Amino acid sequence: METKFVAPQLRYEAGSLAPVISEQTIGFHYGKHLQTYVNNLNTMVVGTEWEHASLEEIAAKAQGGIGNNAGQVLNHNLYFEQFAPKPTRNRPEGKLAEAIEKSFGSFDEMKSRMSAAASTLFGSGWAWLCADQEGNLSVAQMANADNPLRHNLRPILTFDVWEHAYYLDYQNRRPDYLAALWTIIDWQIVESRFEK
């Protein structure tokens, strides 16, 4: 099998995000779900116009199964990258902090809109903090494998609200999962997405 696309190495030990995200959930979510999307994408692109394209290009433009699997690989890469067991700060600084003030009025307002978007998304999908080309921020709900690149936006922060992301640890209590996620965000990673 082609191994063009790979799941990124985790930047932390699999059990180190517990109790926010358990080692068991990382085992299934990162180890099985993400790996399946990676494997599917590697298989599906062979012999297509996407065979030599980047992940970002495929996730932004491809339709059908290839677009869905590329979107899920991209989204999960961003999701798993943005956490740390013991973040040094609980809010952003610098340019991202300024942009949040400008676009939402306050960090707490952004947080509450992001939590609301994630908790009210019907079915499977993702809540996003996105930036446009001018650096204005917005919060969006995107279903299934949809992602900001398809809307000409840059992904800054994402919450996976597919049930596989939280069901082992929180069952039906999606709001509890979302409240806990804020405590493991590595704001330096999130800031670097905005600044690049």
Interface residues with Mn ion (CB under 5 A)?
160, 162, 165
- Taking alpha carbons only, the member of 170, 186, 173, 182 closest to residue 119 is 173
CB of residue 75 vs Mn ion: minimum separation in angstroms? 7
CB of residue 29 vs Mn ion: minimum separation in angstroms? 6
Tell me what percent of the chain is helix, strand and coil, each rounded to the nearest 5: 55, 10, 35
CB of residue 32 vs Mn ion: minimum separation in angstroms? 10
CA distance 178 to 193: 21
CB of residue 51 vs Mn ion: minimum separation in angstroms? 25
Nearer to Mn ion, 100 or 165 (CB): 165
Nearer to Mn ion, 124 or 188 (CB): 124
- What SS3 class is residue 164? helix
Nearer to Mn ion, 146 or 160 (CB): 160
The bridge status of strand 154-160 relative to strand 125-131 is antiparallel
Question: What residues form DSSP beta bridges with 137?
Answer: 131
Nearer to Mn ion, 127 or 165 (CB): 165
